[in-house]
Amino acid sequence: MFLAILKRLLMLIPVLIGITLISFLLLQIMPGDPASRAMGSRASAEDLQAMRELWGLDKPIWVQYFYFLRDCVTGSFGVSIFHKQPIITLVADRLPYTLAIVLYSTVIALVIALPFAILAAANRGRFLDVAIRQIFVVLIALPPFWLCYVLILWLALNLGMFPTGGVGTGFFENLYRLFLPSLVVGLSTAALIQQSLRAALIDAMKADYVDTARAKGLRGYEVFLRHILPNSLISTISIIGVRVSWIIGGTVVVEKIFSVPGLGSLLIDSIVSRDLPVIRGLTVFFAILVVTVNLIADICYALADPRIRLE
């Protein structure tokens, strides 16, 4: 197991080099001059040139790529043109909020999805199953920005139960403040999990080993907890893996509306201001995160299902 993980880690190196190369080259063809964005529309040509030299934008492309690789290896990921700080510092400021939303929304999703998936599977084809499925289909279809505003207007503004946005200090304050944004993300994750887990549960219920277990005289809940549920959770783990990768960079709308200073809003702001080093650094950083999350998901499969081996 340990060796297998090590092997997977080594395999990441060529993947990451590929990612740095692609993200670097893609940004080279992106229109817009960072120097003129930084200095505003009224800067003179000499001032712009001085700025480009200061940032090394006048160097040949391969030299710039080499600098970029060096920054990635040394862990700073480069220095932001606008914030004038190492990118790793910017990331460190914002990552906790993004990770908090990732974890928090996943917990919320599981709390919502598990009981409803089980309930639906147990009542397959009956009214309850159909009703639950329809509700979750609607949840998938709801646009997040709309849901954000509805929750803010209803729970925060009218009932005053939650703040309308922003983050605070300390674990418990943020647990409270990040509830609504995590709920928005969590609801759509819940919908995905509910649909797939329901199907997996139904499949598992029909499996031969379940009949065997029953024939051996195991009680209903024992069959469910020891045989049906673990076998069905494989699909849930893979959905969570994919979702987590998506949430890390994909919660921009939620972050913007709830004023959460996460990585998604940093990425969008940097794209708007043409802060090339930040965009590049973040792309690589996201790639590392996604690859890591996938690795963790794979390990989780292996733990949940003895038939899967890490090779």
- Which residues are at the interface with other proteins (CB under 8 A)? 31-33, 36-44, 47, 50-51, 54, 82-84, 90, 93-94, 149, 152-153, 156-157, 160, 163-167, 256-259, 261, 265-266, 269, 272-274
DSSP bridge partners of 86: 79
76 or 292: CB nearest other proteins: 76
CB of residue 5 to other proteins, shortest distance in Å: 35
CB of residue 141 to other proteins, shortest distance in Å: 22
Q: How many CB atoms lie within 10 A of CB 7?
A: 11
121 or 167: CB nearest other proteins: 167
Distance, in Å, from the CA atom of 107 to the CA atom of 101, rounded to the nearest integer, reads 10
Cβ contact 283:89 at 8 Å: no
253 or 297: CB nearest other proteins: 253
CB of residue 74 to other proteins, shortest distance in Å: 18
CB of residue 276 to other proteins, shortest distance in Å: 11
Cβ contact 148:257 at 8 Å: yes
CB of residue 183 to other proteins, shortest distance in Å: 16
Measured in whole angstroms, how far is the alpha carbon of residue 214 from the centre of its chain? 40
Query: Could you tell me which residues come within 8 angstroms of residue 307 by beta carbon, excluding any fewer than 6 positions away?
Result: none
Cβ contact 64:268 at 8 Å: no
186 or 262: CB nearest other proteins: 262
CB of residue 160 to other proteins, shortest distance in Å: 7
Helix intervals (H) in 168-228: 171-177, 179-205, 208-215, 220-223
Using the structure block, give the residue that is written with the tokens 């914002």.
94
Q: At residue 97, what are phi and psi to the nearest 5 degrees?
A: -70, -45
163 or 186: CB nearest other proteins: 163
20 or 265: CB nearest other proteins: 265
CB of residue 172 to other proteins, shortest distance in Å: 17
CB of residue 51 to other proteins, shortest distance in Å: 7
Helix intervals (H) in 55-126: 61-74, 87-122
**Count of helices and strands (H, E) across the chain:** 15, 0
Cβ contact 182:103 at 8 Å: no
- Helix, strand, or coil here: 245? helix
66 or 149: CB nearest other proteins: 149
Return the percent helix, strand and coil in the chain, to nearest 5.
Answer: 80, 0, 20
47 or 203: CB nearest other proteins: 47
